[in-house]
Each structure stands twice: as C-alpha cells, then as structure tokens.
Amino acid sequence: QVQVVESGGGVVQPGRSLRLSCAASGFTFSDYGMHWVRQAPGKGLEWVAVIWYDGSKKYYADSVRGRFSISRDNSKNTVYLQINTLRAEDTAVYYCASQRIEESDYWGQGTLVIVSS
Amino acid sequence: EIVLTQSPATLSLSPGERATLSCRASQSVSGYLAWYQQKPGQTPRLLIYDASNRATGIPARFGGSGSGTDFTLTISSLEPEDFAVYYCQQRSNWPWTFGQGTKVEVK
C-alpha cells in the first residue's frame, strides 16, 4: 500500500521561511523521482519542482526558481521543499507526488501553507 | 515554458452524454501529455499518461488522443461521478506545466 504524507504547513508571516516534508512508503523510494505541486485556494494546479531518484537533478517552475529548494533523504524515504522569503502568492495547498510508477502516480493529501501577517 | 490552453473552460452536460475536452500546447510536446481529474476537496487523480494510456483502475469510458500540440480527452458516456475538473499536464520539457482546467458540470 503506497502512502505519501506531507507535513510542515501552517500560517507563516511574509518574508519568513518554511520547510515542507513528504514521507513516502510502500514503494522503493530511492528508485523514483518526486514532485511538488501546489494549488492556490480556488485555483488550478501548478507544478513546482522535481528531484531525481538519486538527487542528482532538480528542476523548478519559473515562478519559484531561486526561492524554493527541493531535496531528499533516501535513508528516511522523505523529500523536502524549502521555501524562502515567503510571499502572499505562495499561499496554497502543497502536494507531494511520486514519479509515475508503472501505470499510476501517487499523491499525498497536501499540506496547507498560508502566508499572512 | 510551454503553455497549455484548455477548452472549453466549462462544459455543461447531462449524464450519459459524451464529453470532449481539448488541450493545446504552445509548442510540440510529442506524446508526453497527461490528464488528471480533480473533485472538490480531493487529490488529483491520474487518468491518462503519454497521451492515450489509461492509468491503473481508470474505466474504459475515458480515452485520450493526440500528439504534438493538440490533445483530446473523451469521456464516452458521463457517469455521475465524472463531474469534476480536468487538467492536462505536459511532461515533455522542464518545467512541467498544467493547463488551467476544464470544469465538467451537470447541465
């Protein structure tokens, strides 16, 4: 049974930093890339970042490059998203999702980040 | 980045009708296009990958077609549980991008 569980969201003041975590189980985590996708309230999906299975490559959306950093710890089956200099427009549910595994991919339930003073 | 434009924004149909959703890319994505379904308060669910391959557990009434810049998601006969928002996603070039979504609502 594959499980993906995000954590670390909350209410944060503009300009502060936050680190989101995503713990995965039920598959060989170190074999697969992992993504972050976000969804602002009432809006569509926005792909945010990806990290290769071994951490060797990382790509980011244009809107977050330079402020967001994705990383992983394969010994803990966990991927992270470091968000710096938070802005109001970063308010969203942040989802963690696996690379396609055979004929599916796996998403967590998301963690809500609210940027507000 | 590649921009995906979905049309129409909203599709009003009745159960049993056929739904045809379009996704157009600003440049060729070859066959690297996926479709997702999202219901209110739920996580997106992968329906189609590589333009035409159904994901695990997806009913045969969902079909994907297209290549290059023009793609279509077809739902052959709408079931009550199919009323939702549908997103296309290109997986050809980094950064990956999503379309803005098509809402399929009950007429």
What 3 state SS string does A9-26 have? Answer: CEEECCCCCEEEEEEEEC
Q: For position B99, what pLDDT does the model report?
A: 98
Q: For position B78, what pLDDT does the model report?
A: 98
Q: Write down the mean pLDDT value for chain B.
A: 98
User: Using CA atoms, how far apart are residues B92 and B107, in angstroms rounded to an integer?
Assistant: 35
Reported as a single tens digit per residue, the pLDDT across B21-33 is 999 999 999 999 9
Among A11, A35, A1, residue whose Cα is nearest residue B94? A35
Reported as a single tens digit per residue, the pLDDT across A65-87 is 999 999 999 999 999 999 999 99
Q: For position A73, what pLDDT does the model report?
A: 98
Q: Which of A46, A50, A100 sits opposite B49 (nearest CB)?
A: A100
Q: For position B71, what pLDDT does the model report?
A: 98
Among A100, A112, A102, A115, residue whose Cα is nearest residue A50? A100
Cross-chain Cβ contact A44/B100 below 8 Å? yes
Q: For position A35, what pLDDT does the model report?
A: 98
Residue A2 sits at φ, ψ, to 5 deg, of -75, 135
Nearest CA in chain B to A93: B43
Cross-chain Cβ contact B89/A45 below 8 Å? yes
As beta bridge partners, residue B67 has: B70
Give the pLDDT mean for B56-63.
Answer: 97
Using a CB-CB cut-off of 8 Å, the residues of chain B touching A95 are 43-44
Cross-chain Cβ contact A100/B46 below 8 Å? yes
Q: For position A24, what pLDDT does the model report?
A: 98
Reported as a single tens digit per residue, the pLDDT across B67-86 is 999 999 999 999 999 999 99
User: How far away is chain B from the Cα of A45, in angstroms, using its nearest Cα?
Assistant: 6
Q: Per-residue confidence at B42, pLDDT binned at 50, 70, 90?
A: very high
